[in-house]
Structures are given as structure tokens and as C-alpha cells.
Structure 1
Amino acid sequence: MSQRFGGRFSPDAQPGTRQGVSLPPTPRHPHEGRPKWITLAATPFLLGAFFQGATGMVTDLAAFGLVASGMVLTREGLVAQATYAARRVAKRPAIPRKLFGGVLAGIGLGLGAAEPGVWAEAGLIGMAGLALHQVSFGLDPWRDKTAAGVDSFQQDRAQRMIDEAEGHLDQMRDAIARSGDRRLVARVAMFDASVRHLFDRVRDNPAGLASARRYLGVYLMGARDATIRFADLYARTQDQKARRDYEVFLDDLEKDFIARADRLMDGDRDALDVEMSVLRDRLAREGLTGAATRVDPAERPALQSAEAQTLDDLLRTPFPGQKVPRD
């Protein structure tokens, strides 16, 4: 029986599972698969379009196209929302894709239900579709997420640097796609995931931009230039030695990017240790250390009495050594 190829550079390999590297999983919205079912439910518009006159055919095809386009936008909005929710610091999506997707789907439903003389009813159906879409998928994020104590100016600088670095990654993917080799394309995709792990760390800790600037700028530009030159050479010559050298180059560079991301995370841990140490010292100076305020459970008096018949009697039961006031 044939077996599926599953080597270290398999196109189906998950990013971050090679060489013991552990990257966070890609965020996924729980409703990300629902839009395709709505598109499937709109197929009667597509199938019935070819059994009508010209006007009915164009109307039903347009209705199906609008619903399908709306669901594509909705799915992109769900992906953007999952990414937004997974980050501690994030910008709101520039385009409210879920809202636009709901509007397109509502127009498509209204157009598909339109008949001469019943335009008002068709409009109501479209509005109902939009309302149901918003109830099912929710609204797009409308506010930026910021962390306490993070300067907005530093955050904007970090985001601009990340945007430039993402442009370098896009050029790398476009260049390696010209090679026509699926394994190389998948290898660059794994490197892409490692670099985006560093992006997330810089977003969470914009103060670490100074230490990551070379990685987001000089090193990533060098990786882009090397990928462009290799892709052009490999497409002409299929040089296997150049391919091995390029793969080793990506391995070394990927390790450096992951190590830098880990150091940024260690910096967050060090900051947490400092905050806890300062708080412990302050409590100690005020005589409110945990040892002073902690009570041994064995020394607590038991709230029980053989004479207590009600909850009020139990609450009036004196503790050992407590003086009972006389009436």
C-alpha cells in the first residue's frame, strides 16, 4: 500500500513542528466554516438560473454571486477577528468585512426573491437576511486593543516596522512560487510562520523593537534578496547544490528569528518577576506579608454547637475565650 510522504519538508507539514520548534497555533474562529454552508444553501439560485428567461437567469446568477461574495468576505472577517482576539495588542480591522459581507448577502437574497410588484417584500427579505447574518456572525471589532503601560507612539512605530517586514515576506513568497517546487514553497511558508511569531512578540512588547529592528529590517531584506536570486537561478538550472545551500540558509535564519522571539518573551517574564518582587517588598515594609496574614486552618474556631437550633443561634455561638455580653 502506498504511503503519503511526510518528511521534514513535506508540503503538508505544520509550521513549527520541525526540529523541536514550538510555535503557537494559528488562531481559528469557531464559526469559520459556516459561510460555506450558506453558499451551498444558495445554489438553487445558480441551478435554477438556466431554466428561465434572460431576465430571470441574470437575476438569479447575480443573486448567487452576491451571496457567495458576501460569504467570502464574512469568512475573511472571521479570520481577522480570530487574529485580533488572539493578540494582546492589535489594531482593529481596516475594513469591516463581516458587515460588508452581510450587506452583500442581504442584497443577494432580496434580488433572488424579487418579482414584479413585490419589491417591498423582497426588500424585507434582504433586511431580514442582513439581520440574521449579524446575529449569527456578530459585529467586526471596532476598537484598537492596547496594553496597559504601552506608549501608543511606540506601538505605532512597531506596527509600521512590521508592515514593512510583511512586505518583504510577500516578496519572498512571490519569488519562491516562480520555482514551481511545492516543497520549497512549503519551506518558505514555515519560515514565514516563524517570522510572524516574532511579529507577535514585538506587537505585545513594542519596547523590544530596538533589539528586533535588525531582524525586521536588514536580516529580512537579506532573506528576500537571497530568495529572489535563488528562485531565478533554480528556475533556470535546477541546481540541487544551490537548493541545499538555500535550505540550510533558511534553517539557520529561522533559528535566529525564533531565538530573538524567545528572548523578547523572557524579557516579559523578567518584568513580571520585578513587579512581583517590588510588591512583596512593599507588603513586607507595611507588615502585610503573606506569612503575617495567613491563618492556620487548625486554629480557626469551629462554628458548631449542640445548643444551636437555627442559623441565628449558630451565629450567636461564642468562640473559645470570647466573653459573652450580659443583657
Structure 2
Amino acid sequence: MAQRYGSTYSPDGSPKTSAKPEGAGTPPPPKHRPFDGKRPSRVGARSNLLFYAGLPLSWKAFSAEPIVMAGYLAALGCLVGAAFLTREGLKAEEAYEARKISRRPAIPRKIFGSVLTGVGLGLVGWFGWGALETVIFASLGTVLHSLAFGFDPLKNKGMDDIDTFQQDRVSKAIDEAEAHLNTMREALSRSGDRAAETRLDAFIKTARDMFRTVEDDPRDLTAARKYLGVYLLGARDATVKYADLWARTKNAEARQDWFALLDDLEQNFAARNEALLLGSKTDLDIEIEVLRDRLAREGIK
């Protein structure tokens, strides 16, 4: 009977049968790809263009009278400050949205950026035209900046009915762990080893999976603290030393050892995260069983 041809690389095909041992044709588990779990960054061209928006004021300032020049330079300073606050506000918002449980940013940077934009354009209107133009420019600048970049998160996320003390401990531990990961990434970016940076991104994805698990259930912090602290601290120190060594000597043996270390760490982080998730599932099963027993005692099915 005719049989549709299919091979390893055929669409919807299956591997060809052969006399291989059982399990030999099983494909390896999928590995993390560089962009898994990532979102496009909001800190891009729009926020960077704000730094150049006020540059024409510098040319206009030095061709004006001293008082007008001072006003234009002050306006330029306000616009550059607004651009900086806006960019930092977008970074803070990304960090806020990346977590399931997060505190609002302590400083509403984007709101302050909108206000500074209005002040800067208001100064341009005052020294270049008059009072009416000042109000128009300031109002338009503030409103348009707010519409373009939005407002900062103004309330905490996912912290209802959660022990504040426990959540503070979790937030502090994860902030320290994120700092270790950022140090590792910065060190490798200086080394110029692109393959190592890609490998580190895969490990960071696995580590952050554990972070999210601990955030979902702060009781898991005790079991995960060694991973968030001691192990990541050791990985950070090893990565910094490897990056410096690779930049100087291109030592292949050190590179192989570092990759092996990342493999071991990723496997251990994944296994611990799986154990934490399994523990949460066990707790859920116990709660369901207790509820069923209570309903059965009350004659409810």
C-alpha cells in the first residue's frame, strides 16, 4: 500500500524507520533561543530622538541677546533633562511589566519628563514670542509628551492579600539576583565573545523562570535563596574573570570550562524550579482534597 514519504526534515513528516536502538531517533529537547521570552524594548528611537529635539535652540541661543540666550539655554537644559527622565521612565516601566508582582516606580519619571518638556517649550515661547505663546507651547508640550509616552505605573501590581514583609524579602533577593545577571552581561559585552553572550542569555531566561516562580509563591524563597544568592554570586565572579581572561588571551580551555559551568548551572536552576512548581502543585492537591472532605462531611457532592 502506498505510504506518504516523510523524513526528519519533511513538513509534518516523521523520521525514517531504521534498525536504530529504541530512543535513538528521539529528537533532543528544545533549547532556549536567543529571543525566547523577550519583548521589543520601548527604549528606542522615539526616546533617543528627544535628546536631539532641542539642539536647534543652541544655535538660536548664541545668535541672540544675552538674556534671551540664557532663556534658550535653560529651555535646552529642560528638554534634555526631560529626554533623560523619559528614557529612564521607560526602563523602569519595562522592569515593572516584566514581573508578575512589582512595586510602582518610586519616582514618576515620565510624568516629570512631561512637565519638564512643557517648561522647556514654555521658556521658548516666553523668550521668543510672548505670554500667550508661552501657555500654548507649555500646554501642547506637556499633553503631547504624555500622549506619546504615557504615564508611569502609579500602583503596585499583584500585591493584594500578600504579606508585605515576605514580599519585601522576595523583591530584595530578586533585585540582588538581577544585579548579578546584569554584571555578567556587562562583563561579556566587554569581552567581545558573542557566542558566550548568547549562551548567557539562555541561562538568564532559565534563572528568571525561577524568579517568577518565587514571586508567585514567596514561601519558596527559603528553598531558592541559595540559588538566587550564592550560586549567582559565584557565577558572576567566574564570568567576570572569564571575560577579562578571554579579552586578553583568548584562552580556549577557559572558554570551555565557562560554558560547562553555565550548562551545570542551567540544569540545576531548571531542576530546582521544577521542584518548586511541583511543590506548589502538591499544595494545591492538598487544599482540593481538604475541601472535598469538608463537603463530603456536610453531605454536599
* TM-score bracket relative to the smaller structure: 0.7 to 0.9
Aligned to 2:10: none
**Residues 148 and 117 of structure 1: CA distance in aligned 2, closer, same or farther (over 3 Å):** closer
Unaligned runs of 5+ residues in structure 1 are: 1-17, 290-327
Which secondary structure state, in structure 1, belongs to the residue aligned with residue 104 of structure 2?
coil
Deviation at 1:285, TM superposition (A): 3.3
Greater C-alpha Rg: 1
Which secondary structure state, in structure 1, belongs to the residue aligned with residue 50 of structure 2?
helix
**Residues 148 and 101 of structure 1: CA distance in aligned 2, closer, same or farther (over 3 Å):** closer
Which secondary structure state, in structure 1, belongs to the residue aligned with residue 157 of structure 2?
coil
Aligned: 1:253 with 2:262: no
One-letter amino acid of the structure 1 residue matched with residue 138 of structure 2: G
| C-alpha contact 2:111 2:146 (8 A) present in aligned 1 | yes
| C-alpha contact 1:176 1:231 (8 A) present in aligned 2 | yes
Aligned to 2:240: 228
- Separation in 2 of the partners of 1:274 and 1:107? 59
Map 1:84-163; keep pairs closer than 5 Å: 84-115=96-127, 118-119=130-131, 121-135=133-147, 137-147=149-159, 150-163=162-175
One-letter amino acid of the structure 2 residue matched with residue 246 of structure 1: W
| C-alpha contact 2:188 2:197 (8 A) present in aligned 1 | yes
- Separation in 1 of the partners of 2:43 and 2:120? 21
| C-alpha contact 1:88 1:147 (8 A) present in aligned 2 | no
Aligned: 1:207 with 2:219: yes
- Separation in 2 of the partners of 1:215 and 1:37? 37
**Residues 281 and 125 of structure 1: CA distance in aligned 2, closer, same or farther (over 3 Å):** farther
- Separation in 2 of the partners of 1:194 and 1:72? 32
**Residues 95 and 260 of structure 1: CA distance in aligned 2, closer, same or farther (over 3 Å):** farther
Aligned to 1:270: 282
Aligned to 2:55: 46
**Residues 228 and 79 of structure 1: CA distance in aligned 2, closer, same or farther (over 3 Å):** closer
| C-alpha contact 2:47 2:86 (8 A) present in aligned 1 | no
- Separation in 2 of the partners of 1:262 and 1:57? 63
**Residues 218 and 85 of structure 1: CA distance in aligned 2, closer, same or farther (over 3 Å):** closer
Deviation at 1:54, TM superposition (A): 4.4
Which secondary structure state, in structure 2, belongs to the residue aligned with residue 140 of structure 1?
coil
| C-alpha contact 2:103 2:156 (8 A) present in aligned 1 | yes
- Separation in 2 of the partners of 1:258 and 1:277? 29
> Over the residues paired in the alignment, what is the CA RMSD in angstroms?
3.5
Scaled by the length of structure 1, the TM-score of the pair is: 0.67
Deviation at 1:75, TM superposition (A): 4.3
Which secondary structure state, in structure 2, belongs to the residue aligned with residue 20 of structure 1?
coil
- Separation in 2 of the partners of 1:58 and 1:199? 50
Unaligned runs of 5+ residues in structure 2 are: 1-28
**Residues 234 and 84 of structure 1: CA distance in aligned 2, closer, same or farther (over 3 Å):** closer
Matching residue within 196, 199, 205 for 1:193: 205
One-letter amino acid of the structure 1 residue matched with residue 177 of structure 2: A
Scaled by the length of structure 2, the TM-score of the pair is: 0.72
- Separation in 2 of the partners of 1:168 and 1:201? 18
Deviation at 1:224, TM superposition (A): 1.5
- Separation in 1 of the partners of 2:252 and 2:128? 67
**Residues 211 and 103 of structure 1: CA distance in aligned 2, closer, same or farther (over 3 Å):** same
CA deviations 1:42-68 (Å, max 9, x no partner) are 74x534753671456776566456435
- Separation in 2 of the partners of 1:95 and 1:78? 12
| C-alpha contact 1:28 1:79 (8 A) present in aligned 2 | no
Deviation at 1:242, TM superposition (A): 1.4
